[in-house]
Structures are given as C-alpha cells and as structure tokens.
A and B are shown apart, each in its own frame.
Chain A
C-alpha cells in the first residue's frame, strides 16, 4: 500500500489528473481525501436520508391515516394516499367518546407511574448497598441482579399468571404493578450502580467523619447528587412499563382494566373489517405520551442507554 502511494506520488507530474488530485489531497495531512462535497453527499447524506425516511415513515403513515376520512382512506384511485384532502377528527372522536380509550390511558399511566416509583425505590437502595456499602460478596449480588435482566418475560408469563391467580390479583392493575419491577429493577439497579460510581466517595467519607449516619449520608449527600441518574432510570422505567405487552395481555381480562397496547389490539380489532382509522388514531395517541416524555429528556435517555451498554 505504502509503495503504491510513493509510486503514485512520483508520477504526480504525469497524466492522470484525478489520481494526482487524490494523491495531493492525501498528502495534505489533516484534510481527509474522501471528504469532498459531492462524495460526502453520496456516501453520507443520501443513505442517512434513506434511513431517516424509512425509520419515520410508519409514524407518518400512522398520523396520516388517523386524520383521513374513510372515503379517502380506502380510495387510492382518486386521492393521493400520502396526503389528506379533507382532514377529519372523526377517528379521534370515536376513540375518545365511543370507546373506553381514556380509561385505558389512565390505567396505563397509573401502572407505569406506580411500577416506576416502586422500582426506583428498590433499585436505588440496592444500588447504594452494592456500590457504596461494599459488603462481602456485593459484586456477586450485582451480577445476579444483572443476570435477572437476561430472563425474558416470554419464559415467565405462564408461571406468573398462575401466581397472580393464587394471590387473587388476576385482572387487577396491581398484578402489573408488582410484576413490572422484575424487568425494571435489574435495569435501574445496573444504571444506578454506574451512576453512584461516578460520585466521589470522599464526599461520603467527609460526612462520616462529621458524624453523619449512613441514612443521613444517603438522603442528604448521595441522593441529591444522583438526581440525573435517577431521572434517567425513571424515564427508562416509565417507557418500558408503558410499552409492556405480554404480561398485560396474560393477566388482564376485563376491557376497562386493559392497558393501551393490549386494549388497542384486542378491543379495537373487531370482526373482519378493521377500522384502520381508529386503530391508527389509537396507536398515535398511545405513542404520544412516551414520545413526549422522551423528547423532554432525550439527553438523559441516550446517555442512560449508552451508559448502561458501556458499563
């Protein structure tokens, strides 16, 4: 390779102007040879635009469908399917006033918020104990909690359904609030261990010397410093529990106690003719709370995602 370049450099005065340009560009140390504008266009912006287009298209399609009147929805011949000529709120109206959609939203919200707080409480304490109290075997407890994250819900839902039945929790949101922490706690604990690690231990030592108790240290020093970590863990838990499906499908029977993802699929899909407008409106409205929540905290979200992966 190097030889080839030297040879090329020797021939620089020669014939091929394209090659000559390339070689001189390579010789200019800081400038990257391939960084010319048009090439950048083709190799970076074009594929990136394709990715963004494909990744976003289903959402666009969801939105367009949700606001289209049925006459346009099923007639591609006379209307451009990518656009809405006479937007309508019919589907949303139907969803909000003719179905139990608001109840589903409310249930989902309660379940997500309660299980998030429960898991945050449990995992903060656990992460503090593992990372800061440093007892014998603490890293094994940490490892065990991490491994718990690798147990997928698809393996657990049948025995859990039986347990929920025994506990008399079948068909109650309480069942979901208690079960969701099984996948939230491992994740949050893992995240918070990483976060606690970044808080200087010296701060706690100073407090110890000043005669603070461990509980005081946790409450007045470590927790206030860990707020960003707690926010990340909280957002993540909220999103994960909002999106959960299989447990909610298996444990909840009565229509008004279902969560949004389950209810849309089981209550709105009726008969052979699907109400695509209402289905898409339901999906759109069900996505908005998480999307909103996410966009407010996107930096925390990305940092917790990547931080958790890097740990």
Chain B
C-alpha cells in the first residue's frame, strides 16, 4: 500500500513482505543475540564456569566420588610444605625459561635464514612447519625412542664418531632427563616461532635496509637497529603464547617421562594430573592447577609490557 503511494520516482523498493520470524531475524539486537549465542554460550559453559569451579575446588577437599567441603587454604598450606610441588614449580620455571630462550634464539635465526632469496621457498616452509603439525604426543614418542637408554640413535652416532664410549643416559637420571625434555620442546616449538617471525620480517620495508646500507652500517647494526625493533611487537605476541603454552605443557612430559625419574621432571600440569585424575584428589589437583595462574599472569604481563608497550614500536615516532 505504502509502496503504491510513492509515485513520483516510480521506484519501488524491492522489499518483500516479511513474515514475523523473518522480521525478528532482521531486528538487530535479536540477531546479535542469536549470532553470539552458540559461541558465547559454549565458552561460558565449558570455559568460564569450569575456570570458576576449578578455583572453588582448590579450596575444597573434593575427591573422586565424594563432593568436598570448604577447607579454606588447607590445600595450599599443604602444597607449600610439599617438596614435590616446589620441585614442579622449579622445573616448570626452568623448563619454560630455557626452552623459551632457545626456541626464540634458534627460531629467529631460522626466520632470518628463510628470509633470504632461496630456491624452493614454499616447500621449505612447509617442511619446517611439520614438527608443529604432527600430534605432539606422537613426536614425543619418537623422541622417547630416540632417547632410549639402550638403542638411542644419538648414542650410536656419538659412539661411532668416537666421542663417547658408553650410551648416553638421556632420561633415567634427573638432570639429563630435564634437558632431554627441554630439547624435545625446543624442537617442537622452533617452527611456530620461525614461521611467525618470518611473517613479521616480510613486513619490514626493504627501503629501510637500503637506507641503512647507504649509511654504511654493518650487518649486525642493521639487525640491531632495524630488524629487531621492527620485529618486537610480533615477538611480544608470539612470546606470550609460547610462554603460556610451555609453562602449562603436559603432553611432552607425560609421554616421555611421566614426571620421572624420581619425580624430577614433573611440571605443574603433570603433577596436577597425577594427583587429580589417577590419584583421585580433585581438590588438591585443582589447587596445583590454580597455583599456575599467578605465574601465567606474571609471564603474560612481563612479555606484553616489556616488549610490546613502547610507543616507538607502534610506529608513532621514527627513533
């Protein structure tokens, strides 16, 4: 009716009469609600709620099959006196620290190498990402076999080359086991770091390097004053991710040593699992898991503020 009443332009808005349901779906607030419902609903139910539940559990003495009662800080007091927990804290920090440094050092080097003009560049990139694609547990099993006390291929190589007389003891004594796990983690982490940093490197304009070369800089100076600062923002993001997921790592350790020998390689996550699921002490396991949160918050803030928050990196001035 209305449409017929607009003759001057003779233009008819091609709008069909919408049914009530279609109209409802065209009403923006409702549409926003419907669109967000699946994602936000799933995340609230299976992420936010369990996060809260986990924190609550940490203050109870819940076990499998028995709902717990509130015990206040008892779980944490117990942990403070628990040598195993301190061990796990130490190894988690050590593991994260060393692995992050190695991963980023080697990853940056690999990214710089890949940034040259190379033949078969895309194939090379695809190959390099493989360790990151393959399920961690499966490559961890491969490492377990590589670290085998009797049939380790590394031992074989070292003995053949005459560098050693006996097999290397990779995972049967505490310190070698700790280092072996770190190397496996570094092996798995390098591709992700390298490929992300490579993406960062490719956004740096070549004209900066040309200008610097006209000024007669050395390779190191170009790296120190151009590449590195330009890379910092992306470095900060990748590092935050890497730290969080290394600190809470579970698969590698569980697959290769299960926390042994003599509990020396427990990370907080594996200790929480051991106490919580097979051990049945859900409350205590949750307390161990919750004790990771302060470290995570600190690590995130550190890498974020130390690396990403300086103005000149955002391109606001040309220092």
A residues lining the B interface (CB < 8 Å): 1-2, 5, 26, 29, 32, 34, 40, 44, 47-48, 51-52, 54-56, 58-59, 61-62, 65, 73-74, 76, 81-82, 118, 121-123, 125-126, 128-130, 133, 135, 141, 145, 148, 150-163, 178-179, 181-182, 185-186, 189, 210-211, 213-215, 239, 242-243, 245-246, 249-250, 260-262, 264-265, 276, 279-280, 282-283, 286-287, 290-291, 294-295, 298-299, 301-302, 305-306, 309-310
Task: Choose among A158, A276, A294 the residue that contacts B276 (Cβ–Cβ < 8 A).
Answer: A158
**A54 and B51 contact, Cβ closer than 8 Å, known pairs A1-B216, A44-B116, A59-B130:** no
B216 and A302 within 8 A (CB): no
How many chain B residues touch A (Cβ–Cβ < 8 Å)?
109
Query: Residues of B contacting A151 with CB < 8 Å?
Result: 47, 51
- 4 tightest Cβ-Cβ pairs between the two chains A and B: A306-B199, A129-B35, A126-B39, A154-B269
A276 to B200, CA, bound (A): 41
Query: Residues of B contacting A145 with CB < 8 Å?
Result: 39-40, 43
Distance (Å) between the CB of B75 and the closest chain A CB?
12
Distance (Å) between the CB of B221 and the closest chain A CB?
8
A56 and B135 within 8 A (CB): no
Distance (Å) between the CB of A121 and the closest chain B CB?
7
Q: Mark B237-268, 1 if CB is under 8 A from A, else 0.
A: 11011001100111100110000000000001
**A163 and B50 contact, Cβ closer than 8 Å, known pairs A59-B130, A155-B289, A213-B18:** yes
Query: Residues of B contacting A186 with CB < 8 Å?
Result: 43
Q: List 13 A-B contacts (CB under 8 A).
A: A34-B219, A51-B113, A54-B187, A126-B35, A148-B47, A154-B273, A158-B57, A159-B50, A163-B49, A264-B137, A287-B139, A298-B126, A306-B199
Residue of A nearest to B221 (CB): A1
**A160 and B142 contact, Cβ closer than 8 Å, known pairs A2-B216, A129-B32:** no
Query: Residues of B contacting A262 with CB < 8 Å?
Result: 137
* Cβ-based interface call for B217 (8 A): yes
B145 and A61 within 8 A (CB): yes
Describe A's contact surface by its main secondary structure.
helix
A239 to B135, CA, bound (A): 8
**A162 and B53 contact, Cβ closer than 8 Å, known pairs A148-B43, A260-B135:** yes
A135 and B29 within 8 A (CB): yes
A156 and B47 within 8 A (CB): yes
A121 to B219, CA, bound (A): 49
Query: Residues of B contacting A126 with CB < 8 Å?
Result: 35-36, 38-40
Query: Residues of A contacting B311 with CB < 8 Å?
Result: none
Query: Residues of B contacting A294 with CB < 8 Å?
Result: 126, 129, 133
Residue of A nearest to B292 (CB): A155
Query: Residues of A contacting B37 with CB < 8 Å?
Result: 125
Distance (Å) between the CB of A234 and the closest chain B CB?
15
**A159 and B39 contact, Cβ closer than 8 Å, known pairs A54-B187, A148-B47, A283-B139:** no
Residue of B nearest to A129 (CB): B35
A283 and B50 within 8 A (CB): no
